[in-house]
């Protein structure tokens, strides 16, 4: 089994190269290079944090819904219950579970995002 380079090391190398050449590009291509480097950063964080975030979200929704299932199944069940009115914002644990899921996803997608104070409280 090959241990190195690991996927995140390869992503770092490509993102670093993009950052090195970006200043030499015309403005449009420099912008697109920046978008590509940012996309690689999201992929890196997904590789490093995604599994744990998904497992935690699955656990939270399983506890909230009182059943086991995959994250897509549990999300679909939650959505159905919300549409039917079987659950709403007053359901114990719902807002806390949703907030935790959102915070973990934002940490992967946009780690520098800072919500307005009290916005996710």
In which band, very low, low, confident or very high, does the pLDDT at 106 lie, cut at 50, 70 and 90?
A: very high
Residue 1 clears pLDDT 70, i.e. is over it: no
Tell me what pLDDT residue 118 has: 61
Question: What distance separates the 2 farthest-apart alpha carbons in the chain?
Answer: 57
Structure tokens at 41: 């950063």
Q: What is the pLDDT of residues 31-81, one digit of tens each?
A: 999 999 999 999 999 999 999 999 999 999 999 999 999 999 999 999 999
**Between vectors from CA 58 to CA 56 and to CA 60, what angle results, nearest 5°?**
70
Instruction: Name the least confident of 9-13, 100-104, 116-120.
Output: 116-120
What pTM value is reported for the model? 0.79
């Amino acid at each position: 089994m090959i241990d190195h380079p690991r996927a995140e090391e390869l992503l770092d190398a490509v993102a670093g190269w993009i950052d090195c050449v970006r200043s030499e590009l015309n403005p449009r291509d420099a912008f697109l290079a920046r978008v590509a480097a940012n996309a690689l950063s999201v992929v890196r964080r997904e590789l490093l944090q995604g599994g744990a975030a998904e497992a935690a979200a699955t656990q939270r929704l399983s506890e909230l819904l009182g059943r086991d299932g995959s994250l897509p199944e549990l999300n679909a069940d939650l959505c159905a219950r919300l549409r039917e009115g079987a659950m709403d914002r007053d359901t114990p644990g719902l807002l806390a579970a949703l907030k935790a899921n959102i915070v973990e996803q934002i940490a992967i997608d946009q780690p520098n995002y800072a919500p307005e104070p009290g916005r996710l409280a």
